Amino acid sequence: MVNYPRDFLNLIRRAKRVAVLTGAGISAESGVPTFRGSDGLWAKFRPEELATVDAFMDNPRLVWEWYLYRRELMNKVTPNTGHLALVEMEKVFADFTLITQNVDGLHRRAGSQNILELHGNISLNKCFECQKSYDGEIDLAGGELPRCSCGGKIRPDVVWFGELLPPAAINGAFEASRRAELFFAIGTSAVVHPAASLPLEAKRSGAYLVEINPEPTPLTDFADFALQEKAGATLPQILELVRK
């Protein structure tokens, strides 16, 4: 049984403004596969060779084949108890922002509403040129790849290597971090910037910083309370504390 600090217990029952940052760790508990396949064609490629603008311009069909393969893998996994606990926590706190580095869409599938997806969502598409969302099917068997009404090629709506994060998402994330009374960093290695700066930005602005991660990270020494546990086991317990 976790021995929760008294200051954490007092705060979680009266806090109004809460921000959460999630990383690959919470998705790993659902069995989300690694960035590339372990065998077959995709074992021959490094992610840096496929998740780039240059790769898409050189061979958009190959890039799309990889992303459709990854989408198929993602469709086989489901949100875990950690995702579901965050859905319920959002209903309790007056100001709750969920910031995620993950592209798997599991938070949305679980039912979370106020989400900032820093790296995009692998299930969504957009125009390479005008950035407009595209809801049509991606059918590689049909010959030509789909194009936007503006004529631009359709691409996955994710952030590739070398691209900037969506301004609305990252700016919103920093705003939520600065106003938070309580900030949770969950399943993130805390090494990929600018997302890794968000917990420290929250702490500098006066937030109580909680880290939930099975292994220590560069953030651990800065946390007011660090739980070296899996999110799927810990977040339902914290949810019960919130409800009391």
Q: Which of 83, 107, 119, 193 is catalytic?
A: 119
Q: Looking at residue 201, what DSSP letter applies? A: H
Cβ-based burial of 69 (10 A; exposed 0-12, middle 13-18, buried ≥19): middle
Q: In angstroms, rounded to a whole number, what is the distance separating the alpha carbons of residues 47 and 74?
A: 17
Name residues whose C-beta falls within 8 Å of residue 4's C-beta, 6 or more positions apart in sequence.
225, 241
Token pair 């971090």 is found at 177
* Catalytic residue status for 119: yes
Could you tell me which residues are beta bridge partners of residue 97? 19
What count of other Cβ atoms lies within 10 Å of the Cβ of residue 153?
15
Q: Where are the alpha helices (DSSP H) in the chain?
A: 6-12, 24-28, 47-50, 53-58, 60-74, 81-92, 106-110, 167-179, 198-204, 231-243
Distance CA 63, CA 80 (A): 29
> Half-sphere exposure (CA, 13 Å, Cβ side) for 124?
17
Both structure tokens of 231: 């999110």
Active-site amino acid positions: 119
